């Protein structure tokens, strides 16, 4: 039975009064504790006057928080997220000073730094009180859900009495490999699982399976394939495109936008979330209209950029802003403590974690998590049909602490609590929801290439080219990765700093890419040998290198290994020991597919892999890495409700991000969920082929049927070269 309107209004007024009272008491308590905060005039006041001053200040602060704060946040949305987070305390303190100034006779004053503390404590107290009262009033909660459901049905023109099909949430746990997940779901030494919520699902309602990534085992390729159905021509997280003369970086907004357009043209639809979908914390939109923290639209300005609305929806509540800012600072301190402890204990392998990294970690593990989780809960309450959200916290920490480190496992435990919170909200949603958990890749541990061998990949390339090698050929300077991540987060463009005709050496985890920008089109093995006879053998014979991919004019795609070993992928001929055998089943197909991309660089280098330990050597400063072949990085997971059809038939392996896209799309269709409109399916593909560089076009490669297009080799005369090192960070929101 619905409560009368007067009772609803009365309950709301009582909650407002309770929050006001708690804020007043909090202000009185702080005035008695903090020496630079007073609620009296210079001549002193009675207890009644002090109470009135506190109530007046608390009321004014509450009104400003409700009316002025949302306007301030909206005005600051174009600022970088890190800067916005640091301004939270200053803005909150400024509003408190304004609130105190409305008191008569000079009653109420605080030093600016004290006002920041008082405002933060008052916001936290009022938020806790409001949340407690709202949760206790189950009727108010149900009424809010009912209003949201009615609004949504009206917007869609649906009959208010119709039953909606279940919605689907896809929650991506970035970088969590299948093996790491299974370990986190098991009890250890009579202790509960690291992720008890997910463990409970697996025992009762869900099933889990690993899937295998493409050669490029990283978020750019995987999420593009999952959300948009095509990751063709994405050879790595970053690569050099000769046609434009630019370095493409998956987590740069301009690059992400271009990759999304290309994928949509090839797949002939806008993505998995085209109809009534929401994309939260992702690199790409998936075709969704509801966006928050989506990188491919982050460079847009004005009303057409709806990605930053996620910030507004969250930070519009000053209590949320204060709580997240406090947690942000706590996470910075936690990282400094943990990195110092690792250094004092002489833990190995270990990388330097200074510079901006503590702040980048705090953004990923606190700000991104809080904004994305809150946005997903809003989507649930609004009854959206398809939601895809990426939680990047584990991946960021595991890069620097290790995939199975105590630091990374604690992040998994916090992510499990976030999942539990989302599931709790879903129980009160206006429709049923199915939760699908998945990851985009795993991580493989191991000492860095520089740490193991005393030189970087670019130093090895210089040596192979007969160029001088720096005396101190050691690790990347401290904080270099963090500084580059900061530049990416601030949307600063990245251009290769090419000196004359130097080659460009890039790294994506344990995958290296070498391009010769002075030569149009892709160089052949024969051309490279003519210019630098020692280069390819220097790379292939190095103990830290697993194999090298080049194009041969005589044999097509060729994988080079140590001691003169070769695997000619296009003909299947193997000379000596097959360099790909150690990398397991599917390695040959994955490398062959990438070998025929238009954007494949002149030389690709995959680090060595030890199957006994599961370790690789990242060409970046990471002790947990992904991006190439070798170990757990190529084996993420897919966990789904048992009511859905299995991803693949029994005994079959789920391979490739594009195939995962079709599985998720099938699951949406099984619940009458959002489907790609028929007119998009039948539309003529955009001229993606026109983006290919000009040059000779040979016969189709053996895998042409799988890639859906012809391979293209471009040749050009040789010219002298030198080497340029490029250091670009992995994913940072």
Determine the pLDDT at residue 704: 32
Determine the pLDDT at residue 133: 57
Which tokens is 648 given? 């693949």
Residue with tokens 């519009």: 316
How many secondary structure helices (H) and strands (E) does the chain include? 24, 23
Give the separation between CA 339 and CA 178, rounded to whole angstroms: 27
Give the separation between CA 640 and CA 345, rounded to whole angstroms: 41
Would you give the distance in Å from CA 515 to the centre of its chain? 27
What lies within 8 Å, CB to CB, of 546 at 6+ separation is 561, 579, 582, 583, 606, 607, 608, 609, 629, 630
**CB of 322 within 8 A of CB of 124?**
yes
Instruction: Say whether the peptide bond before residue 349 is cis (omega within 30 degrees of 0).
Output: yes
**Beta strands 386-391 and 167-173: pairing type?**
parallel
Give the separation between CA 39 and CA 50, rounded to whole angstroms: 6
Give the separation between CA 678 and CA 569, rounded to whole angstroms: 38
Query: CB atoms < 10 A from the CB of 295, how many?
Result: 28
**CB of 131 within 8 A of CB of 18?**
no
SS (H, E, C) 443-489: CEECCCHHHHHCCCHHHHHHHHCCCCCCCCCCCCCCCHHHHHHHHHH
| DSSP per-residue codes, 397-437 | HHHHH-TTSHHHHHHHHHHHHHHHHHHHHHTTSSS-EEEEE
Residue with tokens 């209209």: 289
Determine the pLDDT at residue 300: 67
Determine the pLDDT at residue 716: 32
E strand or H helix at 173, and its extent?
A: strand 167-173
| Residue 175 pLDDT greater than 80, yes or no | yes
**CB of 627 within 8 A of CB of 440?**
no
| Residue 232 pLDDT greater than 80, yes or no | yes
| Residue 431 pLDDT greater than 60, yes or no | yes
Nearest to 673 by CA among 279, 159, 166, 55: 166
Cα–Cα separations (whole angstroms), residue 331 to 11, 88, 362, 727: 38, 16, 5, 26
Determine the pLDDT at residue 589: 96
| Residue 577 pLDDT greater than 80, yes or no | yes
pLDDT-above-70 percentage for the chain: 70
Could you report the per-residue pLDDT of 120-163, keeping only the tens digit for each? 677 667 666 665 555 444 445 445 545 555 555 555 555 444 46
**CB of 257 within 8 A of CB of 224?**
no
Provide the 8-state DSSP code for 244. Answer: T
**CB of 668 within 8 A of CB of 242?**
no
Q: What are φ and ψ of residue 451, in 5° steps? A: -70, -35
Instruction: Say whether the peptide bond before residue 540 is cis (omega within 30 degrees of 0).
Output: no
| DSSP per-residue codes, 321-349 | HHHHHHHHHHHHHHHHHHHHHHHHTT-SS
Q: Checking phi first, is residue 453 left (phi over 0); if not, alpha (psi -120 to 50) or beta? A: alpha
Provide the 8-state DSSP code for 620. Answer: S
Provide the 8-state DSSP code for 466. Answer: T
Determine the pLDDT at residue 151: 57
Nearest to 450 by CA among 478, 429, 430: 478
Could you report the per-residue pLDDT of 522-554, keeping only the tens digit for each? 999 999 999 989 999 999 999 999 999 999 999
Determine the pLDDT at residue 33: 77
Could you report the per-residue pLDDT of 366-422, keeping only the tens digit for each? 989 998 998 898 899 888 999 999 999 999 999 999 999 999 999 999 999 999 999
Nearest to 110 by CA among 61, 71, 66, 62: 61
Could you report the per-residue pLDDT of 612-669, keeping only the tens digit for each? 999 999 999 999 999 999 999 999 999 999 989 999 999 899 999 999 999 999 999 8
| pLDDT tier at 559, thresholds 50, 70, 90 | very high
Could you report the per-residue pLDDT of 561-575, keeping only the tens digit for each? 999 999 999 999 999
Cα–Cα separations (whole angstroms), residue 192 to 176, 232, 463, 532, 619: 19, 42, 52, 58, 37
Could you report the per-residue pLDDT of 93-120, keeping only the tens digit for each? 677 677 777 665 556 677 776 777 777 6
Give the separation between CA 81 and CA 371, rounded to whole angstroms: 11
Residue with tokens 């000053």: 318
Give the separation between CA 432 and CA 426, rounded to whole angstroms: 7
Burial label, 232 (beta-carbon count in 10 A; 0-12, 13-18, 19+): buried
Residue-averaged pLDDT of the chain: 79
Q: Which residue has the higher pLDDT, 80 or 688?
A: 80
Determine the pLDDT at residue 545: 97
Determine the pLDDT at residue 107: 63
Q: Which residue has the higher pLDDT, 319 or 3?
A: 319
Give the separation between CA 201 and CA 434, rounded to whole angstroms: 12
| Residue 72 pLDDT greater than 70, yes or no | no
**CB of 159 within 8 A of CB of 376?**
no
**CB of 206 within 8 A of CB of 640?**
yes
Residue with tokens 């920008």: 517
Could you report the per-residue pLDDT of 185-219, keeping only the tens digit for each? 999 888 999 999 999 999 999 999 999 999 999 99
Query: Secondary structure of the chain: what % helix, strand, coil (to 5)?
Result: 45, 15, 40
Flag the least confident range among 330-334, 487-491, 678-682: 487-491
| Residue 176 pLDDT greater than 80, yes or no | yes
Cα–Cα separations (whole angstroms), residue 443 to 335, 509, 614, 617: 20, 10, 10, 12
Give the separation between CA 173 and CA 623, rounded to whole angstroms: 19
Which tokens is 559 given? 């994988």
Could you report the per-residue pLDDT of 444-494, keeping only the tens digit for each? 999 999 999 989 999 999 888 887 777 655 333 322 332 333 333 334 344
Give bridge partners of residue 607 from the DSSP assignment.
Answer: 545
| Residue 677 pLDDT greater than 90, yes or no | no
E strand or H helix at 74, and its extent?
A: helix 47-75
pTM here is: 0.76
Q: Which residue has the higher pLDDT, 543 or 316?
A: 543
Burial label, 572 (beta-carbon count in 10 A; 0-12, 13-18, 19+): exposed
């Amino acid at each position: 039975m619905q409560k009368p309107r007067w009772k609803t209004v009365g309950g709301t007024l009582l909650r407002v009064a309770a929050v006001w009272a708690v804020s007043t008491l909090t202000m009185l308590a702080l005035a008695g504790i903090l020496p630079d905060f007073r609620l009296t005039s210079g001549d002193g006041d009675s207890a009644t006057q002090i109470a009135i001053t506190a109530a007046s200040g608390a009321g004014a602060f509450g009104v400003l928080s409700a009316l002025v704060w949302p306007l301030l946040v909206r005005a600051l949305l174009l600022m970088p997220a890190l800067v916005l987070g640091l301004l939270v305390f200053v803005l909150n303190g400024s509003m408190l000073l304004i609130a105190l100034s409305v008191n008569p006779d000079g009653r109420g004053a605080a030093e600016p730094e004290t006002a920041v503390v008082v405002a933060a404590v008052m916001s936290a107290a009022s938020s806790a009180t409001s949340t407690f009262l709202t949760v206790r009033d189950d009727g108010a909660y149900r009424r809010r859900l009912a209003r949201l459901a009615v609004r949504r049905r009206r917007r869609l023109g649906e009959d208010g009495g119709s039953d909606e099909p279940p919605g689907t949430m896809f929650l991506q746990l970035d970088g969590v490999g299948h093996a790491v997940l299974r370990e986190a779901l098991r009890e250890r030494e009579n202790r509960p699982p690291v992720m008890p919520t997910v463990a409970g699902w697996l025992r009762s309602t869900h099933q889990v399976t690993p899937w295998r990534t493409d050669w490029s085992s990283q978020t750019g390729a995987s999420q593009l394939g999952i959300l948009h159905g095509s990751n063709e021509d994405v050879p790595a997280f970053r690569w050099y495109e000769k046609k434009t003369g630019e370095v493409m970086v998956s987590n740069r907004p301009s690059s992400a936008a271009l990759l999304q357009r290309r994928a949509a043209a090839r797949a002939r639809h806008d993505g998995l979330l085209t109809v009534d979908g929401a994309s939260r914390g992702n690199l790409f939109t998936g075709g969704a209209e509801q966006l928050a923290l989506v990188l491919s639209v982050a460079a847009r300005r004005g009303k057409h950029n709806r990605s930053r609305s996620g910030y507004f929806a969250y930070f519009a509540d000053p209590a949320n802003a204060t709580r997240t800012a406090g947690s942000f600072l706590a996470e910075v301190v936690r990282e400094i403590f943990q990195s110092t402890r690792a250094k004092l204990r002489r833990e190995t392998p270990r990388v330097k974690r200074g510079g901006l990294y503590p702040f980048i970690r705090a953004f990923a593990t606190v700000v991104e998590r809080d904004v994305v989780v809150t946005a997903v809960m809003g989507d649930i309450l609004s009854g959206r049909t398809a939601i895809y959200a990426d939680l990047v916290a584990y991946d960021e920490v595991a890069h620097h602490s290790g995939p199975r480190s105590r630091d990374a496992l604690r992040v998994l435990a916090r992510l499990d609590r976030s999942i539990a919170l989302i599931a709790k909200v879903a129980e009160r949603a206006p429709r049923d929801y199915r939760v699908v958990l998945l990851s985009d890749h795993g991580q493989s541990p191991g000492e860095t290439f520089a740490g193991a061998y005393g030189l970087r990949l670019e130093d090895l390339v210089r040596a192979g080219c007969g160029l001088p090698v720096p005396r101190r050929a050691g690790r990347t300077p401290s904080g270099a990765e963090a500084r580059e991540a900061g530049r990416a987060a601030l949307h600063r463009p990245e251009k290769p700093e090419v000196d004359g005709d130097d080659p460009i050496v890039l790294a994506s985890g344990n995958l290296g890419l070498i391009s010769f920008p002075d030569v149009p089109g892709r160089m052949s093995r024969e051309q490279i040998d003519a210019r630098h006879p020692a280069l390819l053998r220097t790379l292939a014979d190095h103990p830290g290198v697993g194999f090298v991919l080049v194009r041969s004019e005589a044999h097509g795609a060729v994988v080079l290994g140590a001691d003169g070993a070769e695997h000619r992928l296009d003909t299947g001929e193997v000379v000596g020991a097959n360099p790909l055998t150690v990398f397991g089943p599917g390695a040959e197909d994955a490398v062959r597919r990438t070998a025929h991309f238009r954007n494949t660089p002149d030389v690709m280098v995959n680090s060595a892999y030890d199957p006994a330990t599961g370790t690789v050597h990242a060409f970046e400063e990471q002790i947990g890495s992904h991006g190439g072949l070798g170990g757990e990085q190529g084996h993420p997971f897919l966990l789904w409700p048992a009511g859905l059809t299995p991803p693949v038939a029994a005994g079959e392996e789920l391979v490739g991000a594009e195939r995962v896209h079709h599985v998720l799309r099938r699951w949406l269709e099984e619940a009458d969920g959002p489907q790609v409109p028929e007119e998009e399916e039948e539309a003529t593909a955009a001229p993606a082929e026109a983006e290919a560089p000009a040059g000779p076009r040979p016969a189709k490669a053996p895998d042409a049927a799988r890639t859906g297009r012809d391979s293209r080799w471009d040749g050009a005369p040789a010219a002298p070269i030198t080497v340029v090192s490029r250091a670009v960070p992995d994913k940072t929101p």
